[in-house]
Chains A and B, each alone.
Chain A
Amino acid sequence: MAAPNRGQIGWIAVLALMLTLPLWASGSISTVVLILIYMSASLAWGFLAEYGGIVSLGQQVFIGLGMYGMIIFGTNMGIPMIYSIALSAAMNVALALALSTVIFKLRGAYLAIGTWILAEAFELMFTYWGYVGAATGATYEVAYLVPLTDVYYALLILTAGVAALIYYLYETKFGLGIRAVGSNEDVAKERGVNIALLKTIIFVFSALVSSLVGSLYILYNAYVSPSIAFSITWIVTLIFVNIIGGRGRIIGAAIGSIIYVAIVYLTTGLSEYSLLIEGLIIIAAWFLVRRGVWSLIADRISIKAPL
C-alpha cells in the first residue's frame, strides 16, 4: 500500500457505494448478488488453495449442503430461517472436521481427485434421496418472502467479513503459518508449524463460508436440485475467478467474479458451450499470466497481496 490514506479513503468509498447500492441501482441488485456469491465462495476456495495448499475440486459439497440444509431444516422440519442457516453451517463444519481426517492423507492431484469424487458421490446420493425431492429437487418457500435487498446485505456482510479476515490474518503469526504451509509443507513442518491443525482450521473455515454462500444462494434462487447444488460448474467458477484474479486475492476475486458474471451474460445463448469457453479461458489465462491477471496489474500500481 503506497499511500495508506488514499487506500483507506478508497475502501470507505467502496463500502459506502455498496451499502447504498439498493437506493441508486436497484435494478442491478440481482446481478450484484450473483457477483457477491461467486466472490465470497472464490475467496474461501482461494484461501484454501493458496494458503492451505489444498486444491479442492469438491468445494461444491459444502455449497450444495448449505442449500440442502435449508430444505432439510427449513422446508421439511419447519425450523425458522436463521436457525436453518446456522444448522446447515454446523452440519458442514461437522462434515469438514470428519473429512479432514481422511483427505489430508492425500496430496496434490490425489487430494483433488478425492474431493471431486466426493462431490460426485454427494450429487448421486441426493439424486436418489426422496426426502429432499430426489432428482426433481425442492423449493424453499420462505425464500419468496425474503426481499432481495436483505439477501444482498447478508452477502455483503459475508463477503466483507471474509475479505477482512483474510486481510488481517495475512501478517499475523497464524497467517504466516498458513502461508508457509501453502508454499512448502515439508519446510513448514520442520520449522514447527502444526500443519494438521492449520490445515483443518482452513478447511473448516472454507467449508463454513461455502455453506453460508449456499444457504444465501437458495434465498436468492428458492429452488435447488442435485444438479444445481453439486454442479461441477461451481468449481469451474471458483477456479476461473481465482485464475483471473490471482489466487486468494481480495480485489482479484471481485474483478474475477465481475468478469465471470459478464461472460455468463454474454454467452447466455451458448450455454452448451459454456464449460468449453470457461475451460479455454482458464488455460489461456494460466499460460499468459501464471499468477492471475489481477496480480499483473496490482504489481504495476504497487498493491500487495492479499488485496
Chain B
Amino acid sequence: MLSYGLSIALGIIREINVAHGALVVLSAYLSYMSLSLWHMNPFLSLVWITPAMFALGWMLQRFMLSKARRVGSNDVVITTFAISIILANLLQIFFTSNTKSLILPYDLLSLSVANIKIPLIEVLDFVAGVTTYAVLIVIFKRTMIGKAMRALPVDEISAQLIGINPQTIYPVAMGLAMAVASVAGVFLGSMFPFTPDSGTTYLLLAFGVVVFGGLGNLLGTLIGGIILGEVFVFAGYYIGAEYQTTITLLIIVAVLIIIPRGLFKGEVF
C-alpha cells in the first residue's frame, strides 16, 4: 500500500481544468527553485507557494476565465489550453526540459510498522492528504463562502437571488483549487521525477480520479484517488513505466463505459 500517500494527494484535486496539470507542475518547479536557490525544504516552501498559487488561481478566474465562462465552455477550454502550453514552454525555458526531482533531506528515512517498512515521504503525503481533505470539508461545510461555493454549481440563478455573487465566489473557488494543486504538485514532485511536460500525466491522474469518484463528491474523489493511485503505481511497477499512462487511461475508459456516473454517483458531466 505504498501509494496511499500519492493517491490521497491526487484525490483532493477536484476542480480540474485543462491547465490544471500545468499548474500542478508549476508548483513542483517553484518548490524546486526554492530548494536549489535557498535550500528550502520542499514542504516548507509550501508556505509561500500555496498562497502564490491561490493568488494565481484567483487572478486567472477573475480576469480571464469568468469572461470565458460567459461566452461558453468551449472558450474556457481554449484559453486554459493556451495557458497550459505557455506555462510548459516557460518552464522549459527557465528550467530546461531535463528531468528534475525534489530531493528531501529525509528521503531515505522510513518508519516500520509491524515489520513493514514505509518510507517517511509516503507517511507525510498521507498525513498531508488527509489534512487537506479535512480542511476542505471544514471550508465547504462550515464557512459561508464554502456553502456559497457548493450552492453555485447546483443552481446559479437561485444562488444569485439569495445574494451569492458568482464574480466573487468563483475566483475564490479557483484559488482554493490551485492552493490544493500546489500541495499536490510538491508531493508528486517529491515522489516522481518531473519535466515541463509532466502536466499531461498529472492531468490524466486528476481526470481519472474525478471520473472514478463521481463529480462533486469529495469522499468519492478521495477514494477514487486511492484506487487510481494504486493502479498507476502498480502498472508502473509490474508492467513497466512506459505503459503506465496507457493502462491507466484504458481503465478510466472502461469505468466511463461501465459506470459513467462514477463509483459514487456524482452528476453526469
Residues on A lying within 8 angstroms of B by beta carbon are: 49, 53, 55, 57, 101-102, 105-110, 112-114, 116-118, 120-121, 124-125, 127-128, 232, 235-236, 239, 243, 272-276, 278-280, 282-283, 286-287, 290
Contact = CB atoms under 8 A, between A and B. Distances in A.
Nearest to A281: B82
B82 A283 contact: yes
B73 interface: yes
Contact of B81 (A57, A110, A125): A57
B245 A276 contact: no
B169 interface: no
A117 B200 contact: yes
A114 B250 CA distance: 11
Contacts of B268: 105
B86 interface: yes
B85 A113 contact: no
A239 B93 contact: no
Contacts of B71: 290
A129 to B, nearest CB: 10
A165 B65 CA distance: 34
Contact of B269 (A101, A106, A125, A282): A106
Contact of A57 (B18, B68, B204): B18
Which interface residue of B82, B88, B269 has the most chain A CB atoms within 10 A?
B82
Contacts of B75: 286, 290
Contacts of A272: 89, 92-93
A117 B207 contact: yes
Given A108-B77, A127-B242, A118 B249 contact: yes
Contact of B85 (A120, A278, A287): A278
Contacts of B81: 57, 112, 235, 239
B235 interface: no
Interface residues of B, number: 42
Contact of A107 (B73, B80, B210): B73
Contacts of B242: 124, 127-128
B79 A121 contact: no
A43 B242 CA distance: 34
B159 interface: no
Contacts of B93: 272-273, 276
Contacts of A112: 18, 77, 81
B90 interface: yes
Interface stretch (B3-11, B143-151, B252-260): B252-260
B17 A109 contact: yes
Given A102-B256, A113-B16, A273 B80 contact: no
A250 to B, nearest CB: 19
Contacts of B86: 275-276, 279-280, 283
Nearest to B203: A113
A55 B77 contact: yes
Interface string B195-222: 0000011011001001100000000000
8 contacts: A102-B253, A107-B73, A125-B246, A235-B81, A276-B89, A276-B90, A290-B71, A290-B75
Interface string B220-253: 0000000000000000000000110110010001
B76 interface: yes
B143 to A, nearest CB: 26
B269 A108 contact: yes
B246 A121 contact: yes
A121 B205 CA distance: 13
A106 B269 CA distance: 6
Given A101-B257, A120-B200, A124-B242, A113 B207 contact: yes
A117 B249 contact: yes
A57 B74 CA distance: 11
